Amino acid sequence: MKPYLLILFTSMTLYTFGQKTMPLYEGQIPNSKPSPDKEKTSINGGITVVDQITKPTLSIYLPNVKSATGAAVIIYPGGGYWVNAIAHEGIDVARKLNDMGIAAFVVKYRIPNDETMVNREIGPLQDAQQAILTVRQHARDWKIDPKRIGIMGFSAGGHLASTAGTHYASPVIDNPTKTSLRPDFMILVYPVISFQDSICHKGSREQLIGKAPSKEKIDWYSNELQVTADTPPTFLVHASDDEVVKPENSIVFYEQLIHHKVPAELHIYQKGGHGFGLFNKTTDDVWLDRCKAWLSANGWLKQGAAK
């Protein structure tokens, strides 16, 4: 390959996958078995996905300094715990958040696999918690207010986000500095929440905790059962006609948030199905605009970064 073509290709890669992409862990990746790197990116039905992820990364998208609010959102794309829908539920969202003055971080988290992990069920949560730890520890470097760091998850990424938001007191990573792993807010978009038989997305459940999980395990990962008064404020979006992840997932989580007096806002569209990303084409309404209003109303978009 000619040098100028190599430079062009490298530039395109960096642009596509973030302003900067860094390994999520320094040194050895916890809970990993030695295995070949089989990661691949493909386009399925117009959706860009990354498969067989064993080396998690954090892609950093920082807003223009003049418009930066100091707020940050860590994004977990969906994909049923089989893939990461890295573009329309990751990169595209990060750029829109930058337009709102919000720093954004896309997590390419590991896919549960007995061949590559000692304990498959905690691998994604380790990556979710490590991302929160990393962003909070680097808040000053990235001009972020460490008390205004939220998380966002789509579909199975919504299950991962809601797990991080309800299990933060049970760390599955090393955290010698005792840095808080609690996100300050959550944004959950058509999320998998419950692993209960009646409303769960069985594909996500089986991929994370197996085909014959115990009742205790099902309950532990049914995040509506893990809500407390200290669960972060949450914004939820779903569609009534979602036949992949039932809207009852968002509803039961919202009900528990209200029961525990946690600030919450729920938007359920009449139509939209599953996986619409930023834009539900069945309506002129833009859920991200509603989300921005919610963030602003709660004071997370006040101007000012970390000093």
For residue 43, which of 69, 63, 16 has the smallest C-alpha distance? 16
pLDDT on residue 12: 37
Question: Which numeric CATH code is attached to 36-297?
Answer: 3.40.50.1820
Q: How many residues does the chain have?
A: 307
Starting at the earlier edge strand, list the strands of the sheet with 83-84. Answer: 40-44, 47-51, 83-84
Give per-residue pLDDT as tens, 73-96.
Answer: 999 999 999 999 999 999 999 999
> Could you give the CA distance from residue 233 to residue 239 in angstroms, rounded to a whole number?
21
Which residues of the chain have a pLDDT value below 70?
Answer: 1-18, 304-307
Domain residue spans in the chain?
Answer: 36-297
pLDDT on residue 18: 55
From first CA to last CA, the distance across the chain in angstroms is 45
Three-class HEC string of 13-74: HHHHCCCEEEECCCCCCCCECCCCCCCEEEEECCEEEEECCCCCEEEEECCCCCCCCCCEEE
The pTM of this model reads 0.93
pLDDT on residue 307: 47
C-alpha distances out from residue 80 to 76, 178, 208, 296, Å = 12, 31, 9, 31
* Both structure tokens of 135: 């962003």
Q: Which residue has the tokens 């806002």?
A: 265
